[in-house]
Amino acid sequence: MIIHSEVVTTEPLASATVVMLRDAPDGLEVFLVKRHAASAVLGGVYVFPGGKLDAADTELDAQKYCDRDTPALHKALAEPDTPPRVAKGLFVAALREAFEESGVMFATVGENGAYAGPSVKASANGLLQQGQAFNVVLHQLDLRLQTQAVVPWSRWITPLVPSFTNKRFDTRFFVARVPADQIARHDDVETTQSVWLKPAEALAQYWNYGIEMAPPQIMTLSHLSQFDSAQEVLDHAHTARPATVLPEAFNQDGQRVICYPGDPWHSVAERAMPGPTRLTFRNQRFEPTDGFEAWLRRGEVRL
């Protein structure tokens, strides 16, 4: 596991990721994909499907290809200072990346049609493999993105001293329930493996060195471990303001420490999320001060 220590002063790249949810017989599960080992960003690490905002995402005609117009998407993102076209683009990027990396399509055929089925998804995938832009695919197949299926959850901004990558990102995390009859699977290109796990199980696998994850995914799973169903998560997302998290990194006795809002070392006194406010990189992994159970502690304000 490579931990970067150099200061990166470039502006963070806007990006979007979708935390896909489903209800299993024994509780809530989330979908994780393993980034290709050769990837320049988080190679070999398990993440939620996502990627950077493309210029074409901001140019899409929301009136024609989305279930909400640009002003409505700007309001839904709950970031007044973010330009409306960027807010729209982030929703589009989230849905585009979800399809490209997992095969899950949050789109209907036509304005009032049913969710895209296997044949439509196969056609869309074929067009993308031919080099067609996502916006062109939507036009050719008469698809309408269902932005209401994804709900803003949080915003993570890479600190000036990142941990897993020497690039900075400004990532909006969305939560969504996978549409009925759709199967999420890694794309065998950017991602090489995938798995559905309960949040606590994913954290346990990380703790036992079974999988690698970055702090935003770890802390998101810690938050999600407080919920018992996908509907609970979505209900919370609809009522709570998405948290903005700008971690602050320190070195203490030769160890990397990442602090979150609410920690005594952090410049922001108010908590942004439940769970531990500090992770220390030791034993080749990030650990809460109070050990593994700190990630799963219930009874705290969900925020």
CB-CB contact of 224 with 30 (8 Å): yes
- Model pTM? 0.93
- 13-220 has which CATH code? 3.90.79.10
Contacts of 144 (CB under 8 A, 6+ apart): 65, 66, 67, 107, 108, 109, 110, 111, 113, 138
How many whole angstroms separate alpha carbon 27 and alpha carbon 10? 41
Amino acid at 256: R
CB-CB contact of 285 with 1 (8 Å): yes
Q: What percent of the chain has pLDDT over 70?
A: 91
- Can you give the pLDDT at residue 190? 82
For residue 156, give the H/E element and its range: strand 151-157
Tell me which of 59-68, 154-163, 169-178, 251-260 is least confident: 154-163
Q: At what angle do helices 84-102 and 118-129 cross, to 10 degrees?
A: 100
DSSP code for 115: B
- Can you give the pLDDT at residue 3? 45
pLDDT at 198 > cutoff 60: yes
Contacts of 117 (CB under 8 A, 6+ apart): 181
pLDDT at 232 > cutoff 90: yes
Q: How confident is the model at residue 200 (pLDDT cuts 50, 70, 90)?
A: very high
Among 19, 100, 12, smallest CA distance to 56 is for: 100
